[in-house]
Structure 1
Amino acid sequence: MISSLRGTVLRASGAELVIEVSGVGYLVSVTPEHALSLRVGDEALLHTALIVREDALSLFGFADAEQLDVFQLLLGVNGVGPKSALGVLAVMTPDQIAAAVQNDDDAAFRKVSGIGPKTAKLIVVQLAGKLHAVAPAAVAPAAKQKPTVGDDVRVALVGLGWPEKVAADAVAEVLAELGDAAADATAASVPALLRRALALLGPAPQHQPAGAGR
């Protein structure tokens, strides 16, 4: 794993850098703003993520560890690849991303090229609660986060026997399918969302009696 590079900039153009380290030139994908901030001959330190594919090894670089952390969190969202994750960071800072997630503002992500309504909603749902550590400034210190309707539905599904991740993914998919209709109080009420989630998941899993299997 290549987690960082320190070397001389051989090329800086568009959204790519070539960094020479001990005689080897590494091609690194970066945000356009990052590429514009560097000149040929500059010494640069990049925090990097190595993405391994069947047909390629690709490096993505960032000016600081905070951006790298957010990039890796974005990669964990269903439907978000490395280019889309880099695209989000090209137009939003980590603090802005954390604020959008906290405020359930998927419209902020729909402005990013390549991010559709469903993926934007998944980013908000699946990153909820995960960005405080990397972007504390985006969280009001005295404010207590109010549970959302989606949170209530997820808790209800867990209470019915589904694992936390299965419940969260089902809620995310239902909200994504609703799209703009999720703003309607009737369509996005707890009972309405719960019915949709139950229809998606099918019969509830059977609870195993205590001591079973021993």
Structure 2
Amino acid sequence: MIAHLHGTVTAAGGTHVVVDLGGLGVRAECTPETSAAVRLGERAELHTSLVVREDSLTLYAFSNPDERDCFELAQSASGVGPRIAQAMMAVLGADGFVEAIAGEDPKRLAQTPGIGSKTAQKIILELKDKVHALGAVRDDISTSPSDAGAWRRQVAEGLEGLGWSAKDAESACDAIAPMAEDETDVAVLMRAALQTFAKKR
């Protein structure tokens, strides 16, 4: 099991980062929030979870261990794979995930793309005892884009990485553009963008 990466960031996209470990470049899938928090050319420590399949080995990275633990816990629910679990972390974060499960709030959990109300209720039923044992508490991570257009690029890439089309991603960015004039936290903007899709349902 690969528990963490500590090296120089050589690349970062909407939902992935590449960390150089002494000449070995390791790519890890991540949430838009984690991607936005790292800086190219600087060292970073990421907490990771390795997902093993018959035809692939995929590493997922998170800014803090609580988020990683919630990502792994989410996958213990039937029908929840790493992609959905990653989307949960992108939309809710560790705190939001724990609160939704512990508070038995399917509506909040269903804010995640790919999760309907019935699926959310099933996940809560399966995880409510486990999440109390987890006791995860997530530290707030503030991420400030380095230029005015950075938030749009990061949010659009993140939405596309979660399965939305480029057109939908741009429409969501347009909808939250007024908010972005005062809000610099990419994670907050990402969640606001996802909320625009929920309002259209």
Contact 1:80 1:119 in 2 (8 A): no
Aligned runs of 1:26-65 on 2, under 5 Å? Answer: 26-65=26-65
* Unaligned 5+ runs, structure 1: 139-214
Aligned runs of 1:35-184 on 2, under 5 Å? Answer: 35-135=35-135
Whose relative contact order is higher, 1 or 2, with alpha carbons under 8 Å and at least 6 apart? Answer: 2
Larger helix proportion, structure 1 or 2?
A: 2
Q: Read off the aligned partner of 1:98 and give its amino acid letter.
A: V
Take 2:45 and 2:91, find their aligned partners in 1: how far apart are those partners?
21
Which of these two proteins has the greater Rg computed from alpha carbons?
A: 1
Change (3 A) 1:79 1:20: same
Residue matched to 1:9: 9
C-alpha RMSD over aligned residues:
1.7
Change (3 A) 1:120 1:37: same
How many residues align? The count is: 138
Residue matched to 1:188: none
What is the deviation of 1:118?
2.9
Take 1:115 and 1:58, find their aligned partners in 2: how far apart are those partners?
22
With normalisation by structure 1, the TM-score equals: 0.61
* Unaligned 5+ runs, structure 2: 139-201
Take 2:66 and 2:133, find their aligned partners in 1: how far apart are those partners?
9
Change (3 A) 1:47 1:55: same
SS of 1:6's equivalent?
A: strand
Contact 2:91 2:112 in 1 (8 A): yes
